[in-house]
A and B are shown apart, each in its own frame.
Chain A
Amino acid sequence: MKEQNNIHQPPVDQHAYELMNAAIDGELGPAEQAELNKLLAESDELQDFDAELRSFVRLLNDVPERAPPEYLQQAIERQIRLPVPKNKQTRGKAISSPLNPKNWLRTGLALAAGIVLTVGIYEMGSGPITSRDASNLTGTIIDKPGSSQGELLDSVHIYTDTLQGAVELRSRGDLFSLDVNVKSEGLAKVVVNIAGRGLEFEGITNGQDFDNDVAVSDDLINVVSEGAQSYSLLLRQTPGSQPVTPLELEFFANDTLVQAAELGGSR
């Protein structure tokens, strides 16, 4: 850096050099442009230097782009667990994986401690969840279920101008959770369609100040939040039913649908 500083002085007046650079970059105002024009008109040396500088900047701008390696996009997508393309998903089909009851047993055993903690904290932190009335806001707030993250089954990211975030579908033993992290400028609404999915709303968890409105019916779960919010929607298998995927989600920003997604489709 020291060595570079010793040689960086331009061979012309510093102010003129700055004006020439800004002009080449198209970032000069009319008054400064007039000033530069005057300086150039008065000096052949400056004109020569300006021409040389323009030629050099053109050279820098002409450096061609390099194509990324062909494998790169796929490698990135593999790492970030992209949602399955719609044409590869099976809508309404009884699932074989990962929500298959056989897999529940396996993952349930592996997550036994987490389940106990989850259910335990849930029971300590809330009363019974009873309402399924679509006309009322009935979300039940319970504490964050400890450190039990559960097994990640699928995820979706939202990156619109007005709403950004991610939703992860996790298996937590006999429960499933939709872990939602969203951030919006105004109101953000997440709608989960559980109609015919063999799942019931069990509760909503949050470890921070809770500022969400939750409406639940047999078919839909609506959560409205503002600003940056993190919460988990807990779902339980309806007795006598088989869970069915994918779950359909819709994301609204200020009542405008900005993205729709499906979670838990077969891969």
Chain B
Amino acid sequence: MSQLVSQYQRPVYNAAYRILGNKDDAADTTQTVFLKVFEHIVDYDPKFKFFSWVYRIAINESLNQVKKRRNQEPLADNQESPWQSPAEVLDSKHLCKRVQEALMTLNVDYRSVVVLKHISGCSYQQISEILQLPVKTVKSRLYTARQLLKKTLQNDGSD
């Protein structure tokens, strides 16, 4: 069991962090995810990949957390640093922060797809299973989200 936690806590934490934008919320959500995994392990359908099932719980828990704090101040640990220059987006140590800030401007439906694709490295089919959406919708959301993110980062860089 310890092995399962070791294997999945990092990807689950990273997915939660990129959706929530806050490390404490991500840690709390990760704990909740594993509790749910073990509580509902008999509900796991072996037709699907185990990691898809775990990710589905992770994404749903993260989205629940987003809903809970919708009216709270976002990005508590990501607001301290203003944009510096467009060039920095590409290769500086601020990359992570810039992308995270841009991610947080996206609607959570778009954000979830981007996180699963670019942070978790899932294929379209896997994202489709995790989010229980048609592949066509996954593609549409991903492509739109990329365009939105690109514009956000470009706009930030030109400020």
A binds B: yes
Within 79-124 of A, Cβ neighbours of B (below 8 Å) are at 79-80, 82-83, 85
Q: Are A72 and B146 in contact (CB under 8 A)?
A: no
Q: A-B pairs with CB below 8 Å: how many?
A: 138
Question: Complex Cα distance A182/B22, Å?
Answer: 36
Question: Complex Cα distance A22/B139, Å?
Answer: 8
- B66 beta carbon closer than 8 Å to chain A: no
Within 1-39 of A, Cβ neighbours of B (below 8 Å) are at 1, 4, 7-10, 17-18, 21-22, 25, 27
Q: Are A64 and B96 in contact (CB under 8 A)?
A: yes
Q: Are B10 and A60 in contact (CB under 8 A)?
A: no
Chain A residues near B18 (CB, 8 Å)? 63
Q: Are B99 and A181 in contact (CB under 8 A)?
A: no
Q: Are A75 and B31 in contact (CB under 8 A)?
A: yes
| B-binding segment of A154-162, A199-207, A215-223, A231-239 | A154-162
Question: Complex Cα distance A85/B3, Å?
Answer: 12
Question: Complex Cα distance A83/B1, Å?
Answer: 8
Question: Complex Cα distance A181/B42, Å?
Answer: 7
| A-binding segment of B55-63, B68-76, B118-126 | B118-126
Chain B residues near A183 (CB, 8 Å)? 42-44, 46
Closest residue of B by beta carbon distance from A58: B90
Q: How many residues of B contact A (CB 8 A)?
A: 51
Q: Are B10 and A65 in contact (CB under 8 A)?
A: yes
Chain A residues near B112 (CB, 8 Å)? none
Closest residue of B by beta carbon distance from A22: B139
Q: Are B27 and A69 in contact (CB under 8 A)?
A: yes
- A56 beta carbon closer than 8 Å to chain B: yes
Contact partner, B9, options A7, A25, A57, A76, Cβ 8 Å: A76
What is the CB-to-nearest-CB distance from B4 to chain A, in angstroms, rounded to a whole number? Answer: 6
- B114 beta carbon closer than 8 Å to chain A: yes
Q: Are A77 and B46 in contact (CB under 8 A)?
A: no
A164 in contact with B1 given A25-B117, A60-B118, A68-B30 (CB within 8 Å): no
Q: Are A8 and B144 in contact (CB under 8 A)?
A: yes
Contact partner, A67, options B10, B95, B147, Cβ 8 Å: B10
- B150 beta carbon closer than 8 Å to chain A: yes
- A125 beta carbon closer than 8 Å to chain B: no
Q: Are B42 and A164 in contact (CB under 8 A)?
A: yes
Q: Are A68 and B44 in contact (CB under 8 A)?
A: no
Q: Are A17 and B143 in contact (CB under 8 A)?
A: yes
Chain B residues near A69 (CB, 8 Å)? 23, 27
Q: Are A4 and B110 in contact (CB under 8 A)?
A: yes
Point out which of A63, A68, A76, A159 has the most chain B C-beta atoms below 10 A from its C-beta. Answer: A76
- A73 beta carbon closer than 8 Å to chain B: yes
What is the CB-to-nearest-CB distance from A199 to chain B, in angstroms, rounded to a whole number? Answer: 25
A65 in contact with B14 given A18-B139, A164-B46, A185-B46 (CB within 8 Å): yes
Question: Complex Cα distance A166/B39, Å?
Answer: 9
- B104 beta carbon closer than 8 Å to chain A: no
Q: Are B35 and A80 in contact (CB under 8 A)?
A: yes
Within 131-159 of B, Cβ neighbours of A (below 8 Å) are at 139, 142-144, 146-151, 153
Q: Are B31 and A157 in contact (CB under 8 A)?
A: no
Chain B residues near A4 (CB, 8 Å)? 106-107, 110, 144, 148
Point out which of B9, B17, B43, B124 has the most chain A C-beta atoms below 10 A from its C-beta. Answer: B9
Chain B residues near A65 (CB, 8 Å)? 10, 14, 119
Q: Are A157 and B46 in contact (CB under 8 A)?
A: no
Q: Which 9 A-B pairs have the closest CB atoms?
A: A68-B13, A60-B118, A8-B144, A181-B42, A76-B34, A21-B143, A80-B38, A183-B42, A82-B1
Partner-B contacts on A (CB < 8 A): 1, 4, 7-10, 17-18, 21-22, 25, 27, 53, 55-57, 59-69, 72-73, 75-77, 79-80, 82-83, 85, 156-159, 161-162, 164-166, 181-183, 185, 228, 230
